[in-house]
Amino acid sequence: MKSDMLTCSKDRMEDKIVTFSKFGDAGHGGITRYSLSPEAHQARDEFVKRMKAIGATIETDDMANMYATIKGSEPGLKKIVMASHCDSVKNGGNYDGILGVMSAMEVLETIVADKIPHRHSITAMIWTNEEGSLYPPAMMSSGVICGKFKKEDMLASKSILDSTKTFGQALDASPYKGEEKNRLNPKDYMAMFETHIEQGPILEDAGNEIGVVTCVLGMFNYRIKFFGQADHAGTTPMYKRHDALFAAAKALCYLHEEIDKLDDKDLVYTTGEIVCHPCVHTVIPDMIDFSIDVRHEDPKVLAKVLAIVKSLDGKEIEKCTCKVEKAWARDTVYYDKELIGYVKESVDELGYSNQYINSGAGHDAQFVSEMIPTTMIFAPSKDGHSHCEPEFTSVEQCTKAASVMLNAVLKTDKK
């Protein structure tokens, strides 16, 4: 490590990890902390308390996104922001999202504690409702701020637990709802960094401490539907059946066989949702609707997989007809090369083992990258676990990721 390289405090990081893990503690080593819930407000209160203690100015915008800023020596310059989220999935872990917030706090705390000079004002930020686990969709507020979603549509999003409640109602009830003029925007901000756990096993398997993130993978999500005939399970002979579930099962096996023939180790695809109608044990299913989620950096590979998926459209399998419908898709989002360079320089100078890596998961940073220069930093996830209670990243690994961001931010500050 170069003698002039700065590092964050392991003790402060550990204190933050322990403290924030209490807000929404599910009792099994993880948390359930839905956006704008009482538990999420506890986390936000703690953020405010700690940021005010170092003299940061706190602002919120109309989507309840939060901004804690320490002033730079040249007030006319644009700000540098470090951002992530504090909400979780149900029975999630103590690192997804919140590590980025804690790392941003730690960077500001280090700058203030060590009296590190900086020209630009620097901001730690919390995005509202990144997970979308209570009020869909995911990355809701960054989607609104970056023009991906219409605000009125998002305000109307219904709670998955109570359809009488909307995101707009929760937002109106939140003490952190602020003004639209405070939104993140390219007029006031020059760059964004997001530190995050990897949520996969690549770094750990390679024995590396830091992932220098280059992009968020392109992906598509399609729905594959089969239509048959509902009949009695006990009285309909097997040869007369139009069993939509049996047809769908055959189609799923076909997809796996054909996609696997592409033999691409970087290609991932998943069927994670199945709808069965009428879903009664004494009735032959007459409709099956299942998802297929496909992710890869190269659009040519995605096109090959899509051709396989679309080949099912209109086919008849086991006397059931198939319909293939697009749900949504995104192109690969590449992060800013200059900021990636600052991250790479910082991690090399700190002497931490590292590698370039892509993100298979979506993040607020991918939306922001189309508005201002953006990049991400990954810390390893033990055994690749995430979105579950065994999710774990050591205090040392968390602190190293924050230290990389600190130095990358300071390199950006000299720009």
Q: Residue 281 annotated as binding?
A: no
226: burial class by Cβ within 10 Å (0-12, 13-18, 19+)?
A: buried
Burial of 81-90, coded b for 16+ CB within 10 Å and e otherwise, reads: bbbbbbbbbb
Q: Is 79 helix (H, G, I), strand (E, B) or coil?
A: strand
Q: Give the integer Cα–Cα distance in Å for 85 and 128.
A: 6
DSSP string of 317-368? ETTEEEEEEEEEEE--EEPPHHHHHHHHHHHHHHT--EEEEEESS--HHHHH
Q: Residue 179 annotated as binding?
A: no
Q: Give the integer Cα–Cα distance in Å for 401 and 410.
A: 14
- CA 190, distance to chain mean position in Å, is 22
Q: Is 414 helix (H, G, I), strand (E, B) or coil?
A: coil
Q: Residue 96 annotated as binding?
A: yes
Q: Residue 120 annotated as binding?
A: no
Q: Which tokens go with 132?
A: 């979308």
The answer to whether 410 and 191 have CB atoms below 8 angstroms apart is: no
Q: Residue 391 annotated as binding?
A: no
In 21-117, alpha helices (H): 38-53, 98-113
- Phi then psi for residue 290, to 5 deg, are -125, 155
Annotated binding site for Zn(2+): 85, 96, 131, 196, 387
Annotated binding site: 85, 96, 131, 196, 387
